[in-house]
A and B are shown apart, each in its own frame.
Chain A
Amino acid sequence: RKEVEQDPGPFNVPEGATVAFNCTYSNSASQSFFWYRQDCRKEPKLLMSVYSSGNEDGRFTAQLNRASQYISLLIRDSKLSDSATYLCVVNCYGNNRLAFGKGNQVVVIP
């Protein structure tokens, strides 16, 4: 089983709509969770960390479910500029090693 699994999509989203996707992780000892955004042919950039209580940053909401070992990202009021690949990233306890999912490709359509 892969360390981090994501449905690559693409997720075609009408502008202004809401889109949500999950990411599952296999290592129950995982301690830190992140969502990164990666634009085509660019490096990943941190979108937001994911905290146990869930957290929100503007139109973006992240949730963590430790019991079921998944994290989620919800994007409200989608903008054309939100089109990108969203990478789920998990950090295991005791080391700095990051495990990446394949990413969820989001395409916002006018």
Chain B
Amino acid sequence: GAVVSQHPSWVICKSGTSVKIECRSLDFQATTMFWYRQFPKQSLMLMATSNEGSKATYEQGVEKDKFLINHASLTLSTLTVTSAHPEDSSFYICSAKRQGVGMNTEAFFGQGTRLTVV
């Protein structure tokens, strides 16, 4: 089946540094990928929609200059958390659907990245 791979699975960084998270679709092309954030006991909250070859679309309240998204190819999207602060500590998950499929198809999720900012 389709697989979405996310790396790293966990990272600890110091306040003020930047962290890059990669999301790859391994056996299908994805013109669109999605980045979510999940705090403990909360639902997944969509942060942004990553579009291959164009700018990402950010949800209201998500700072585009802080969460940089690059979708340079049909199989790779990256999320960079810049100048990280402890409140950015969370579980970040990406997802993708196969290109050109309908609405009822499954969205595949990466394994998630647990970010801890100290």
Contact = CB atoms under 8 A, between A and B. Distances in A.
A99 B107 CA distance: 12
Interface string B20-47: 0000000000001010100001111110
B103 A31 contact: yes
A98 B93 contact: no
A100 interface: yes
B67 interface: no
A32 B36 CA distance: 19
B58 interface: no
A24 to B, nearest CB: 14
A100 B44 contact: yes
Nearest to B102: A32
24 contacts: A32-B103, A34-B106, A41-B91, A41-B112, A42-B111, A43-B6, A44-B93, A45-B109, A46-B106, A46-B107, A87-B44, A93-B103, A96-B34, A96-B49, A96-B97, A97-B46, A98-B34, A98-B95, A100-B36, A100-B45, A101-B43, A102-B41, A102-B42, A102-B43
Interface of A: 4, 8, 31-32, 34, 41-46, 49, 87, 89, 91, 93, 96-103
